Structure 1
Amino acid sequence: MAVIAADGFEEIELLGPVWYFKQLGAKVDIVAPKYNPAPERYGLTYPEMAKTHIMAIQYLQPVGWIKFDRTADQIKVSDYDAVFIPGGAWNPDNLRNDKDVIKFIQDFNKSGKLIAAICHAPVVLASADILKGKKLTGYWNIQVDLKNAGGTVLEQPVVTDGNLITSRHPIDVAEFSRAVETWLVKK
């Protein structure tokens, strides 16, 4: 399974499901966009760690770093049976601006393999333009974006529609993780 995340992922939405999937015996790769710092003229500095790690948050507060295994420009659809995108307020914005991430999601969707996204992460799927005619859910403040992308938003903890599983909030992590397991076991 590929877990695609960037700086600003919600810690429990990545670590909870990843722990669960590993307990089930899944091989999990944390995949991040290729390191691409802002231009020097912006005056921003990045820790050396940002080249190999992504920053976790808990409700907008930075809480640490997690090492990633690969970058989005290094992966291909045939490497994985499923892709999972955790939420977090910043993570999806960082992902949806990355051409390698968007192309991978589009290609993965064409394969019919599982794409799972929780909380704010479904906006990445909107940017990949794969939501037309799909039923899904997401965090309350992105629901209008999901509708504008052609999806039908349902207010429930987890929604499965074909190869797409979405969830709306950190409190739904356990139910979301079990839905991913159920989908994968059926295949």
Structure 2
Amino acid sequence: MTTHLEITTIYALLDGELEPLAERSAEGHLLRCAECRAVREECGAVLASLRWYAAAPPPPPVGYWSRFWERFADRVSRTPERPAAVRRPRPAWRETAMAAAAVLALLLGTWWGGLPRDEVAPRVSAPASIPARMAVADTGWESDVEFFERATVAVGSVDPLTKGLALAALVESP
């Protein structure tokens, strides 16, 4: 089984960039291997199309530019005419509506500013804290407060976690 030529070697051969010894070796392989010859044909077609796209366009025929300027000289040399100003009419209702809205806003602001304001209630200090038993004396929660106090005393602390557990028990109890 013969090894095939690498594609880079085939492109280098087509571009004439191989050393003479490597070029003779590649040409000898191409004589024996039909697959590599097919790849060389495809690579040659790709290179030909790339060279065609990269080629500079042919120069225009003699006298092309002089005829071109003869056709367009009168258009280019003339001074351009100034276009007439086109005034777009504004709808009259828009200006009237804007003026009416401004007057309405002014009147509403004046009316609103002239309204009497309610007196602000004077600030009073909060009452001194009272024991929890007194706060819930008439609410029917006395038993819950007693349960909370017993739970915190039984655990031996009033840390937030313990309070949370006691409060959760209060919520869950019927």
State the TM bucket, normalised to the shorter chain. Answer: under 0.3
* Greater strand proportion: 1
Structure with bigger gyration radius = 2
**TM-score after normalising by structure 2:** 0.18
Q: Which has the higher helix share?
A: 2
Structure with more relative contact order (C-alpha pairs < 8 Å, separation 6 or more): 1
